[in-house]
Amino acid sequence: MKNKNRAVFISSMFILLIIFIFTACQTYREITKSDMEKFFDTHRGFPDTLSNSFKVYGFANPVATQAFGADPTALVYNDRVYLYMSNDTFLYDDNGYVHYETQTAETFSYGKGIQGIRVLSSEDLVNWTCHGAFNITGPENTNPLIDSAEWDDSQLVEISGVNRSWAPAAAWKMIDGKPKFFLYWGNGGSGVSVVTADSPTGPWTYPLGRRMLITRNTPNCDNVHFLFDPGVVIDNEGNGYLFFGGGDNISVAGGGATMADTKMARRVKLNPDMISLAEDPEQWRVPYMFEASEIANIGGKYYYMYSTHNSTEGNPFGLGNAVLAYMVSSDGPFGNYTDPKTVLNHPQRALGTRDSNNHGVMFEFKGQAYIAYHTQMLAEAMGIFRYRATHIDRMNMDSNGIIEEIPLTRKGAAQAGHLNPYIVNEAETIGVQGGIYTRPHSEAGNKTVVTSIDTGDWVLVYGVDFDSGANKFSAIVRIPERDKYTGAIELRINPEADGHTDANTNLNAVKTTRIKGGEVIGRVPVRAKPGEKGKFITVTVDLDKTVTGINDLVFVFYSSLGVKPLTIFPDNRHKDAFEFDQWQFHK
């Protein structure tokens, strides 16, 4: 009897196994080339126009459109430029709507809206990899694509009264035979301190425990209106120097302060560890200075740059209100500086934006000098304002190191080298895009993924050098945790600009832009096999043709969740689609 029951049990289990396998096979079906052709067919529901991009195809400014970034500083390491920026972030009202209609002081504040430091990097100045944002001091996170509990847990500095991290300055040097990276920042206008890391993208640590590097108790700093906006430089002997200060309330400066010499500028030599002061900070004369101290060592000369205040016009140097001015020293960071000259006009006057302040940094990359600065042009393309994004333009110097005043451009810097498709590339390396955002993910290659993918969204990278030819493509994607989901990526090269393309006027809610067309070279299916939901998978496909030479490359997305209204603001529901992590071509 026992043997009979055992046989019945085994037979039943075998039947159940067959049913399970049959059901699984019925649930999962390979996506065919014919399926994917239909996904991207405009006669079958694919949108006639792709998502708006907020940056004209072919342009490099602003450098990123999936997130804001203000008060830029630059660091060059291993032939790569790293930008560190105040992370301007959307604020929401009690109903979940973004403050954007008036952007008054009551609805938006830099105190709540600058949420940590955002990091981008590039090997060519036009394709920028997003490394996300990190939390030095708070404030609370309002980006729905970032987990607020994780954001709070990652806060580096826990000091009473320290709750802002604005306008960073970056440097690196060899210490004990290893590269060490330093990022200085301002606690609003109330002090300056530093975080450190062993790589330019972190992880960052706070080396000073319960104290700040510079406060109002630091000698010669109690009478500075704003203790903020650090700039850092390392001289030819490896010594570090920090510049900071600002403000135009000359009544706090004491005797002798005027609008021509506000006596707000400070500078100090750092100890070899770069996290302590070698001496007391000293006051020095910076004509008509208001904020935005930065200093760069270019060609053995030291270029100190700053923003003038709003009572500057009519001065003997020809400086305007709120322009970026510079002075040059040929004999060290504390040497004799030239009289100031204008290097960059105010964006409001040069680009017709509604910008209120000015902040930038000079840097040298591959033998050429550049300036990075912020404007509100991206926000205004979205139909809002106050939020700022970084731009880069080329600088021209004569043989004496004198800089021509730089025109602010919408096209931006030219590409400095080509992108290699045969190495693993991060999907969040972007030249221009439409409809997507990025978000942190601990399992992703760069701890960041492309997210908010809807049908008709896209990402483009400029100047990809396929050399003698590619015939295969691989992508790493994250499958969403939902049943019966299907996605796809269409690979195109060399599209056309569509919509507004004028280099002399700004985008806005009416003047919109995107791409169209381009040659299709392949398609990538995205569908979960049993057990793959919520996981990262690698998909490899043969291309439709061998691709050679230098081309702009586009990833156009399809999602079975359909076309959604144009996404201007990060929206948590868009994480329901697949997410894009990395890609690579093969010969």
Tell the burial category of 92 from Cβ atoms under 10 Å away from its Cβ (0-12, 13-18, 19+): middle
**Alpha helix ranges (H) inside 289-423:** 347-351, 377-381
Residues with a known catalytic role: 71, 291
- C-alpha to C-alpha distance for 108 and 521, rounded to whole angstroms: 45
Look at residue 463 and give its three-state secondary structure. strand
The answer to whether 339 and 261 are in contact (CB under 8 A) is no
Number of neighbouring beta carbons within 10 Å of residue 46: 17
Q: Residue for token digits 């400029």?
A: 462
Structure tokens at 348: 């409001």
- C-alpha to C-alpha distance for 63 and 72, rounded to whole angstroms: 11
Structural element, H or E, at residue 38: helix 33-39
First to last CA, the chain: 65
* Residue type (1 letter), 468: S
* Cα–Cα distance list, 524 to 18, 204, 555 (Å): 31, 37, 10
Q: Residue for token digits 């409001």?
A: 348
- C-alpha to C-alpha distance for 427 and 430, rounded to whole angstroms: 7
Q: What is the DSSP letter of 65?
A: S
Tell the burial category of 10 from Cβ atoms under 10 Å away from its Cβ (0-12, 13-18, 19+): exposed
The answer to whether 321 and 308 are in contact (CB under 8 A) is yes
CA-nearest of 71, 106, 67, 61 to 89 is 67
